[in-house]
């Protein structure tokens, strides 16, 4: 007999749109704003994908990811250096080990996210030139 399909047993989403379709409000709207901010600062040829089960932008490797959880949303800059650079501006968020957690209905400012993406891109470029 086939087991009933529960949210935990559903297939993993294959696109960011599919991921967002599964996220309840208000987190869905919050993550759409985060996605838009990342997209506007990322190079045009950055790829949107699902990696480790979460939405991720890739450009010469991991650039930045985001996700929704039961009680918060998270931003994953994939760099502790970037997190440390902006820690004073992330006072309303919980920051630990490369993860920035924020309320389901209150994303970080779009301008801050864009600056973080640009800092991450500069970091990647610097490493390539070394």
pLDDT at 5 over 60: no
Domains (range + CATH), the chain: 12-125 (3.90.1150.200)
The pTM of the full predicted model, rounded to 2 decimals, is 0.88
CA pair distance 21, 5, nearest whole angstrom: 17
Q: What is the pLDDT of residues 82-118, one digit of tens each?
A: 999 998 999 889 998 889 999 999 999 999 999 999 9
Contact criterion met (CB below 8 Å) for 17 and 28: no
Number of helices (H), then strands (E), in the chain: 4, 6
Which 3 state secondary structure label does DSSP give 110? helix
Strands (E), 35-110: 47-51, 54-58, 62-68, 73-76, 94-96, 99-102
At 10 the pLDDT is 61
Name residue 68's beta-bridge partners. 73
Tokens of 61: 């490797």
Q: Is the pLDDT of residue 8 over 70?
A: no
Model confidence pLDDT, tens digit, residues 38-60: 999 999 999 999 998 999 999 99
Return the pLDDT at 12: 83
Band of residue 6 on the pLDDT scale cut at 50, 70, 90: very low
């Amino acid at each position: 007999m086939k087991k009933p399909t529960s949210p935990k047993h559903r297939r993993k989403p294959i696109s960011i749109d599919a991921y967002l379709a599964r996220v309840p409000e208000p987190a869905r709207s919050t993550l759409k704003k985060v996605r838009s901010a990342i997209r506007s600062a990322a190079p045009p040829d950055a790829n949107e994908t699902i990696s480790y089960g979460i939405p991720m932008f890739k450009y010469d490797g991991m650039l930045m990811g985001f996700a929704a959880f039961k009680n918060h949303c998270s931003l994953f800059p994939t760099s502790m250096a970037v997190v440390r650079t902006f820690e004073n501006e992330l006072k309303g968020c919980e920051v630990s080990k490369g993860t920035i957690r924020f309320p389901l209905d209150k994303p970080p400012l779009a301008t801050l996210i864009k600056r973080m993406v640009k800092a991450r891109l500069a970091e990647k470029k610097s490493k390539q030139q070394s």
